[in-house]
Amino acid sequence: MLMTTILITGFGRFPGAPFNPTSGLVRDLIRRRRPALAGVRLVGHVFATRWDAVDRELPDLLEREKPDVVVLLGVATRADRVRLELVARNRRTVLLPDAGGARAPAMRIEAGAPFFVRGRYPVARLRAGLRQAGIDPALSRNAGGYLCNYAYWRALESASRPSGPTLVVFVHVPPLHRLARTSPRSSRHCHVGRDRDFTTRALEQLIVAAVAAR
């Protein structure tokens, strides 16, 4: 039986966000082991929040690791809920510089390509996995125009090829001190503070759901 490979990516800091929680979440997810992920190879990578870093490193990761599932994490600095991104849009902001001071060369990622491409994952199943762990995620059709959306678009491009990943999902997390925890059995919300372990366990449940959905 072939081993399933999961690529989990996050980002470093960028202008306006001196701390990016996704870098720590990637490290935590790679360290953790649970029976439901026995036989699963987890590969983690944190991108510098730069256009050239994604262009250079993402193709290398996909070629070298040949992941079956790609889970990309990004921070939504103004959010208070986890968001499952349903689409990647064919757009880039040319106003906000990346962590290296560079700006996107053009607003469109691919000239002549559709305005958006859909994520490749079973939305209901992954949403249920997060709810089981105590997080009720929002469903979003706007991953922004920055590096999060760009990495998602490029990963989905790879999924359209015969040798590409089967599933590609992008998860936006809020700053962890604003994360709202929702019990699956009630509508009550409570703040969990800076509980990175709670978020890690919830994302781990999402990965378990993704593996089961392959």
The residues that bridge with 168 in the sheet, in sequence order, are 70, 120
How many structural domains compose the chain?
A: 1
What is the three-class DSSP state of 30?
A: helix
Query: Which pLDDT value is given to residue 124?
Result: 96
Residue 29: domain span: 4-213
pLDDT in tens, 43-90: 999 999 999 999 999 999 999 999 999 999 999 998 989 999 999 999
Distance between CA 86 and CA 81 in Å, rounded? 15
Rounded-to-integer distance, Cα 46 and Cα 32, Å: 17
pLDDT tier at 179, thresholds 50, 70, 90: confident
Q: What is the pLDDT of residues 109-133, one digit of tens each?
A: 999 999 999 999 999 999 999 999 9
List the CATH number of the domain containing 28: 3.40.630.20
